[in-house]
Structure 1
Amino acid sequence: MSYAAARPAPPASTPTVAARAEGLCKVYGQGETRVTALDAVSVEFRQGEFTAIMGPSGSGKSTLMHCMAGLDTVSSGSVRIGDVELSSLNDRQLTRLRRDRVGFVFQAFNLLPTLTALENITLPLSIAGRRPDAEWMQRIVETLGLSGRLGHRPSQLSGGQQQRVAVARALTSRPEIVFADEPTGNLDSRSGAELLGFLQESTRALRQTVVMVTHDPVAASYADRVVFLADGRIVDDMHGPTADSVLNRMRLFDAKGRTN
């Protein structure tokens, strides 16, 4: 990919923690089929910070995101969104927390084709019987450059515009944290650069917290911080990443893997 990242500005003050994991373990199967996807992971994601999670296939990065977002249960340890321990919630409470306090952006845009961009953006709030904060939504729409596209249906939008609508939908409920799983995976370089710039801007202008799983060093360079996973464990934590520094770190992990 040829797009280049603008460097993120440092936070003006010490931010609060939007989400944290402590001693997080996730195990699948039993006996000979037992697989440890996450092994005693402890990590914090701070308010107003854009964090990328990277690692080789099978490192546990998507599992970590799913556990942090309450999409998957944990085997042991704790996960908190703000001051709420997820394991203390029943299914109904967990559904409400995900709806009200967590946003999701995935590779698939998941837009309803019969609805306009505006209707797709406000759909989760409509289902919850809530109205969007008009001023907040206007800030999001303007930040994402969607002001002139709100009446368009998905088929009338480019891939990059559709993904921006998905981002706007994730942000409109004012979630405490947004989790994005390979959000540029289905986009061309230009659209990917636009989306990453918008995610970066949302942390600056809107003080949003964003956690993004990616395999792309250039995409990771848009983040304030990169957390590296290998074999279900955090093996490095880089601040102020560049595409080259991330790529070099990944190559180092690959070299260690070949010698082990």
Structure 2
Amino acid sequence: MTTLTDHLSGPGNGQQGTAVSARGLQKNYGRGETTVAALRNVDIDFDAGRFTAIMGPSGSGKSTLMHCLAGLDTVDSGNIMLGGTDITKLNDSQLTALRRDRIGFIFQAFNLVPTLTAEQNITLPVALANGKVDPEWFGFVTSTLGLTDRLGHRPHQLSGGQQQRVAVARALLTRPEVIFADEPTGNLDSRVGAEVLGMLRRSSQEMGQSIIMVTHDPIAASYADRVVLLSDGQLAGELSNPTPQTVLAALAQLGA
């Protein structure tokens, strides 16, 4: 019988060490008296093969940090290493290739193409890269996520939970080094949200996938191995093996 372990191969799986690290990150918005410091000299490491949540009050810099780590936004100073690559030294075309080939994304709004089937949405990143889909891995990912009988459906024919599962499958298909998830359950009810979070945790624990998730939800954060706390653009602590209660208590101390 095929198991998850049988599929642990590729750059995103079975990793050891650090998936992403950042040193001295500074990011400002605006100029002069209107300048807002979104990140203030942030030093942080994210272990490979682990599920990490980033949390903090509104305006704490958590989304900015994730967007910079993922190469979606630039920093004013500091360095970000993805594996052995300093992404702060890459130009736009190099960043585009890095995001396409080495990073997976899961967004709150799913970001599915409405005219494409579920299968076409899942394989879209591979098609855009003129690559070839590994049929065994595709079948494994889609069956694990319960999508086998939905592959011919377009997004409007799928429930919210099914659409997000398609987005998760799309992110996993290329075996990326890191998956960045931005409020992945924000548009889902609690039952379906728990299902998606359970899949993310399983992909980390059993597939060795590195996941970095921004969330405001203590319950969502409790699915992670670690919670990183931000306040006013600075690191404000972290939690290991979080529970909803310990996350709520930590956020209360930050005034969230």
> TM-score, normalised on structure 1?
0.90
Which amino acid in structure 1 is aligned with residue 85 of structure 2? V
Which amino acid in structure 2 is aligned with residue 191 of structure 1? V
CA distance in 2, matches of 1:123, 1:182: 22
CA distance in 2, matches of 1:234, 1:85: 21
Secondary structure at the aligned position of 1:78 is classed as strand
CA distance in 2, matches of 1:109, 1:63: 19
Which amino acid in structure 1 is aligned with residue 109 of structure 2? A
Runs of 4+ in 1 over 4 A off after TM superposition: none
Which stretch of structure 1 is more off in the superposition, 34-43 or 146-155? 146-155
Which amino acid in structure 1 is aligned with residue 100 of structure 2? R
CA distance in 1, matches of 2:15, 2:172: 23
CA distance in 2, matches of 1:188, 1:138: 27
Which amino acid in structure 1 is aligned with residue 254 of structure 2? F
Per-residue deviation, 1:136: 2.3
> TM-score, normalised on structure 2?
0.92
Per-residue deviation, 1:143: 2.4
Conserved? CA contact 2:15–2:49, under 8 Å: no
Per-residue deviation, 1:142: 2.4
CA distance in 1, matches of 2:203, 2:149: 19
Matches within 5 A, 1:186-225: 186-225=187-226
Per-residue deviation, 1:14: 9.1
Q: Which residue of 2 aligns with 1:76?
A: 77
Q: Which residue of 1 aligns with 2:138?
A: 137
Per-residue deviation, 1:201: 0.7
> CA RMSD for the aligned pairs?
1.4
Q: Which residue of 2 aligns with 1:250?
A: 251
Per-residue deviation, 1:111: 1.1
CA distance in 1, matches of 2:208, 2:137: 12
Q: Deviations over 1:1-21 (max 9, x none)?
A: xxxxxxxxxxxx993111111
Secondary structure at the aligned position of 1:15 is classed as coil
Is 1:107 aligned to 2:111, yes or no? no
Q: Which residue of 2 aligns with 1:66?
A: 67
Per-residue deviation, 1:128: 1.1
Conserved? CA contact 1:143–1:202, under 8 Å: no
Per-residue deviation, 1:97: 0.3
Per-residue deviation, 1:155: 1.5
Is 1:181 aligned to 2:182, yes or no? yes
Q: Deviations over 1:119-158 (max 9, x none)?
A: 1000111111001222222232122121221121111211
Is 1:147 aligned to 2:148, yes or no? yes
Q: Which residue of 2 aligns with 1:159?
A: 160
CA distance in 2, matches of 1:14, 1:127: 26
Per-residue deviation, 1:236: 0.7
Which amino acid in structure 2 is aligned with residue 86 of structure 1? I
CA distance in 2, matches of 1:40, 1:15: 26
Q: Deviations over 1:131-189 (max 9, x none)?
A: 12222222321221212211211112110000010111111111100101111010011
Conserved? CA contact 2:230–2:236, under 8 Å: yes
Identity level (%)? 60
Q: Which residue of 1 aligns with 2:96?
A: 95
Which stretch of structure 1 is more off in the superposition, 93-102 or 147-156? 147-156
CA distance in 2, matches of 1:66, 1:174: 20
Conserved? CA contact 2:20–2:80, under 8 Å: yes
Q: Which residue of 2 aligns with 1:5?
A: none
Which amino acid in structure 2 is aligned with residue 56 of structure 1? P
Which amino acid in structure 2 is aligned with residue 53 of structure 1? I
Secondary structure at the aligned position of 2:200 is classed as helix
Which amino acid in structure 1 is aligned with residue 117 of structure 2? T
Is 1:52 aligned to 2:64, yes or no? no
Q: Which runs of 5+ in 1 are unaligned?
A: 1-12
Q: Which runs of 5+ in 2 are unaligned?
A: 1-13
Aligned length: 243
CA distance in 1, matches of 2:225, 2:148: 27
